[in-house]
Amino acid sequence: MSLRLEKRLKTALLPVSLVFLLLMAPAVSGSEAGNTGGPGKENRVPALMPVPARIQLSQDKFRIDEKFYAGGQEQPGGRVFKAVARFMFRLSGRTGLFLKQDFLADQTPGPNTRLFYRYGRTGRLLPYEDESYELKIDKERIELQAPTDLGVLRGLETLLQLLSADEQGYYFPVGRVEDRPRFTWRGLLIDSCRHFMPLEVIKRNLLAMASVKLNVLHWHLSEDQGFRVESRTFPRLHQLGSDGMYYTQDQIREIIGFASDLGIRVMPEFDIPGHSTSWFVGYPEYASAPGPYRIERGFGVFHPVFNPANPDTYKFFNRFFREMASLFPDPYLHIGGDEVEAAHWKQNQQIQAFMKKHNLADNHALQAYFNQQILKILTRYNKKMVGWDEIYQPGLPKDIVIQSWRGTQALVDGARRGYQGILSNGYYIDLCETAERHYLNDPIPPDSPLTEAEKKLILGGEATMWAELVSPETVDSRIWPRTAAIAERLWSPQEVRDVDDMYHRLAIISVQLEEHGVQHLKNQDMMLRRLVGSSAVSSTEMAALQSLARISEPVKGYARHSLGRKYTSLAPLTRFVDSCFPESLEARDFIKLADGYVSTRNSENQQKLKDAFNQLAVVSSQAVALAGRIPVLNEIKPLAENLGQLVAIGSAALSYLASKKGPQDGWLETQKNLLMELKKPQAECQLAIIPAVEKLLVALEEGHK
pLDDT digits (tens, 9 = 90+) for 97-120: 999 988 777 888 888 899 999 999
Per-residue model confidence (pLDDT) at position 10: 35
Name the CA dihedral angle for 652, 655, 661, 663, rounded to a multiple of 10 degrees: 0
The bridge status of strand 54-63 relative to strand 169-179 is: antiparallel
How many helices (H) and strands (E) the chain has is answered by: 26, 18
Per-residue model confidence (pLDDT) at position 44: 60
Q: 54-179 and 185-516 share one CATH topology?
A: no
Residues sharing a CB contact under 8 Å with residue 476, sequence separation 6 or more, in sequence order? 201, 204, 205, 518, 519, 520, 523
Q: How far apart are CA 580 and CA 206, in angstroms?
A: 23
pLDDT tens by residue, 51-108? 999 999 999 999 999 999 999 977 788 999 999 999 999 999 999 999 998 877 788 8
The bridge status of strand 185-191 relative to strand 458-465 is: parallel
Name the 3-class secondary structure at 244. Answer: coil
CB 574 within 8 A of CB 195: no
Beta bridge partners, 422, equal 403, 460
Statement: residue 17 has pLDDT above 60: no
pLDDT tens by residue, 576-594? 999 999 999 999 999 999 9
User: What does the pLDDT average to over 683-699?
Assistant: 97
pLDDT tens by residue, 651-687? 999 999 999 788 888 999 999 999 999 999 999 999 9
Q: How far apart are CA 431 and CA 558, in angstroms?
A: 7
Statement: residue 11 has pLDDT above 50: no
**Which residue pairs from 519-523 have beta carbons closer than 8 angstroms and sit at least 24 positions apart in sequence?**
519/204, 519/473, 519/476, 519/477, 520/476, 520/477, 520/479, 520/480, 520/481, 521/477, 523/473, 523/474, 523/476, 523/477, 523/579
The bridge status of strand 265-270 relative to strand 216-223 is: parallel
- For residues 461 and 38, which has the higher predicted lDDT (pLDDT)? 461
pLDDT band at residue 8 using 50, 70 and 90 as cut-offs: very low
CA quadruple 642, 646, 651, 656: dihedral sign: positive
Residues sharing a CB contact under 8 Å with residue 422, sequence separation 6 or more, in sequence order? 185, 187, 401, 402, 403, 404, 411, 443, 458, 459, 460, 461, 462
Q: Hey, which bits of 243-337 come out as E strands?
A: 265-270, 332-334
Name the 3-class secondary structure at 252. Answer: helix
Per-residue model confidence (pLDDT) at position 508: 96
pLDDT tens by residue, 403-449? 999 888 889 989 999 999 999 999 999 999 999 999 999 999 999 99
pLDDT tens by residue, 165-199? 999 999 999 999 999 999 999 999 999 999 999 99
Of 385, 365, 386, nearest to 375 (Cα)? 385
Q: How far is CA 251 from CA 103, 229, 278, 287, 550, in A?
A: 28, 9, 21, 29, 37
Any idea which fold 54-179 has? Chitobiase; domain 2 (3.30.379)
Q: Where are the domains of the chain?
A: 3-25+522-703, 54-179, 185-516
Statement: residue 30 has pLDDT above 80: no
- Mean per-residue pLDDT over the chain, rounded: 92
Name the 3-class secondary structure at 508. Answer: helix
Q: How far apart are CA 121 and CA 96, in angstroms?
A: 34
Which of 129, 339, 436, 514 is catalytic? The answer is: 339
To the nearest whole percent, how much of the chain has pLDDT over 90? 85
Any idea which fold 185-516 has? TIM Barrel (3.20.20)
Residues listed for the chain: 705
Q: For this structure, is 285 an active site residue? A: no
Per-residue model confidence (pLDDT) at position 12: 35
Q: How far apart are CA 127 and CA 53, in angstroms?
A: 19
Name the 3-class secondary structure at 265. Answer: strand
Per-residue model confidence (pLDDT) at position 200: 98
Asked which of 33-37, 229-233, 496-500 is least confident by mean pLDDT, the reply is 33-37
Q: How far apart are CA 322 and CA 354, in angstroms?
A: 27
Statement: residue 606 has pLDDT above 90: yes
